[in-house]
Structure 1
């Protein structure tokens, strides 16, 4: 049986053994509802409080500013839609970017149908927000700026501190989708002037179906899910206690290992990038060369169709992606790659490889050798490549 080389950690990560171990008692032993008054429920409530404290500490936030959700998409929806509703008396204008996750973009589309105006900021060829365009987009009726911390496809990290400063100078709330960044890079909500932040457990070796929204004290957004009084009356529904415990443990683990883990990922990421760019012609790295997530490498290969590339890699036991996991079934080119200026035919030939702490240099050598072979084969079947070679002889 071929060894599995999993390089799609931006889509999801393997739940760490210590995370699973921490969760297990809350399925069978400490299974009480945390809203009850008896001691069995009290054990669950204590576990939720401990996880909340861990996550708040990781962000430099206050414990009561962390609200548990079902994941990053819910957190993004909550931040945008509830802010729009709560601050509509001030204005109806929101600023975001063209390269956000679809949880943001589709929420913005929904808001546009309900009378809100959205400005979608352009980015440069590396996927970095244009600060001058942001400043120009601000209006008296602007109530929210939402810019992702780091892009889920190309890995580019945004100038979040500068964006937060600009937002606060104008009295505008600032939200960041940090689903890819939380646990990968240090984040302090006060230093970065962040009012709301979304994160998801399964991106940092935690369980699926759990996330959180950080909401700075004083931000007056209302409930998104109505029903009971859970999460200090802001998010109804019986708490996912095992998931919350798992998210807390995954956060603790990520913070404890961040420096050593990401140093290794950066070294291997750069090794992979250097080999691919040097050894496979007509290849482009997407995203900023250095100001990117430690584990992210995204390439476009001319004269190659991304879906065929993924299938052939899978046959060799290599898991990669052509873009966001949420749109992997789509045949449309990535909206992120189009936003950084790639033509459709090149955007279609993209490959995202995202590392984890278990990946070795030998694994990446195996990947590169297979990439070279597969791309040569796919190009040999491409009439466009044949015409290109003839013209450039």
Structure 2
């Protein structure tokens, strides 16, 4: 099956979200719903508080509601998942397998960062929970992924369906409740391709911002690149960071690593990224997984720098995180630093991200519903 036909099957009309499930709905939507149920308008604000601040999972438990009405609406779903499996890495990163209402399982990762002595550090932060200064959630947007990146565990399992608005928001609330800390950052970098589920992703961003209280500048949406979707995403003029998974400096190598890249040539992808910068005024981050002997040579760095010259970008280098299905290797530190040096010589902003949660298979590229 061609890359184009694979994407055409996935790129079907996006699911629309109605109430219920109630999670993901705004105060206005919840107010309209309670009024449809014959309740006074102020019940909408109460319900909003119980869903987003108190984490209620059943309307039967909203004690400020009349007992009779609670009984009448007890079976109406709020839209929360259940934790099917939970694992903790030595650095404090927690991977969750969440079971959805239809039985599918998705992965979510909670990534804590602690401050000690004025410095950001990973780990458990000693015995003082107040030392947790930042809590990032890596959310999934699809059950599985259709992009089939050769180095990624999620793509090996295929694609099942898009996640809905409430299923995306639920992941953040789940991590927040488990850590008993407010989530500060959200990255749409889990299972799935966000721009093949744009409507639900946009709705989730709105809810996370307005209902959960997370700033848009603290959110990152990652995409492999779908034709016209970056341009369309730019039209919403959000303050989120756009991260594009490039992983290669030329079309031939990119197709080997990302088979669906045949449908969207690298020159066209970068042209859309330039449009994104022009429309939003925000720079694009390019994710680049370093694979030893494959795409990590100095000549690859020089070719990448040439392609990115001339517009606001930042390159985020990610040393490969191993999965069992393929034999790629992580480059050593000397090879990584040599790549960084070439980019800096060409005046390309660059950083190296050593992924958290490696031991729990929770790092970048390792997510899969392995306990399905």
- Does the pair score TM above 0.5? no
Larger RCO (alpha carbons 8 Å, 6+ apart) = 1
TM score, norm. by length of structure 1: 0.24
